[in-house]
Amino acid sequence: MTSITIRRARRDDVGRIVAMLADDPLGSARERLEHPLPPSYFDAFDALDRDPDIHLVVAQDGEAGVVGCLQLCILPGLSSQGAPRALIEDVRVDASCRSRGVGEQLVQWALTEARQRGCKLVELLTHNTRTDAQRFYLRLGFQPSHVGMTLRF
Amino acid sequence: MTSITIRRARRDDVGRIVAMLADDPLGSARERLEHPLPPSYFDAFDALDRDPDIHLVVAQDGEAGVVGCLQLCILPGLSSQGAPRALIEDVRVDASCRSRGVGEQLVQWALTEARQRGCKLVELLTHNTRTDAQRFYLRLGFQPSHVGMTLRF
């Protein structure tokens, strides 16, 4: 396992995170990896950074810098006797750092945080084509119990 | 179509909503439909009610009262050029009011709200066994594009 630190994302990480989101067959069509980055990315960062229920974290490798990211949302709701629910989004690991435990450390961080916040359920959607990701989450204890349905405007 | 009004849930709707969440093979084991209701439900209601990004709405039928519910979460995030994402949760329609368009009006309300809030993506998880629900969402334009993975503590 690579020795990494999981820490809260900062505004100056936004470029690295967007680069990882864009470095992907599904993500490349959706992102605009330009210099300078479109301001909408920074507006979104500011919005999530001030929300106490949204946690955007990065995996920091001492030498390589930021090599992974994950967003955890803690969502209040009535079901399950009013326990909050956790949603994991935008898990990415830099292509140069795959299979070294970075993704696992990010997800384990999220599971620990979700448990500490009183969540009884953690959920995520992974694209049907990402069979490697599905195996990865199975290994960490997730079940493919649901159909993830999406609608894009 | 039944003529209903979609409105923001109030604290005095919590009992009706929990009754709908519990009236379900999957939900019945998770909820505690007691009189009085466990205070955790009201604590959760207060938490979501003060969150401007969480919208718990009910379908109000003039005669029958509250006959459906839906929770919409508007989630900031960096992906898709920083557009917020919408998550639909806890869609329920009272057993006596099925197939009368109540669910469709609830979901259409959520889609309109998500679009107005600038979302580019709406997502939801529906249990593998809920094939009727999957057909319903397909009809409204959703695609079964993802695997919905869950982990319960």
Reported ipTM: 0.95
User: Under DSSP, is residue B13 helix (H, G, I), strand (E, B) or coil?
Assistant: helix
3-state secondary structure of B64: coil
Residue A60: what pLDDT? 95
Alpha helix stretches (DSSP H) within A39-130: 39-49, 79-82, 102-116
The three-point CA angle A50-B52-A22 to 5° equals: 55
pLDDT of the residue at B117? 97
**What chain B residue is nearest to A122 in terms of C-alpha separation?**
B151
Chain A partners within 8 Å of B121 (Cβ): 150-153
Question: Nearest by CB to B31, which of A38, A71, A81?
Answer: A81
| Cβ separation A44–B152 shorter than 8 A | no
Mean pLDDT over the full length of chain A = 94
Question: What does chain B come to in residues?
Answer: 153
Nearest neighbour of B146 by CB, restricted to A119, A128, A142: A128
- Taking alpha carbons only, the member of A28, A25, A30, A100 closest to residue A59 is A100
- Which pLDDT band, with edges at 50, 70 and 90, does A99 fall under? confident
> Between β-strands A54-61 and B85-93, what pairing exists: parallel, antiparallel or unpaired?
unpaired
Please state, for a pLDDT cut of 90, what percent of chain A lies above it: 86
Q: Which residues of chain B have pLDDT under 70?
A: 1-2
Q: Which pLDDT belongs to residue B107?
A: 98
What are A37-96's pLDDT values in tens digits?
Answer: 999 999 999 999 999 999 999 999 987 799 999 999 999 999 999 999 999 999 999 998
> What is the pLDDT, as a whole number, of residue A6?
97
| A145 at B interface, C-beta within 8 A | yes
Residue A101's pLDDT band (cuts 50, 70, 90)? very high
- Alpha helices in B23-120, H assignment, sequence order: 39-49, 79-82, 102-116
Residues 80-139 of A with CB under 8 A from B: 80-85, 87, 89-90, 111, 114-115, 119-128, 134, 137-138
Per residue in A79-91, pLDDT tens?
999 999 999 999 9
Q: What is the CA radius of gyration of chain B?
A: 16
Which residues of chain B neighbour A103 with C-beta distances below 8 Å? none
Q: What is the pLDDT of residue B55?
A: 98
CA–CA separation, A75 and B122 (whole Å): 16
What is the C-alpha to C-alpha distance for residues B74 and B88, in angstroms, rounded to an integer?
9
pLDDT at position B18: 97
The bridge status of strand B121-127 relative to strand B85-93 is parallel
Question: Could you tell me the pTM of the whole model?
Answer: 0.96
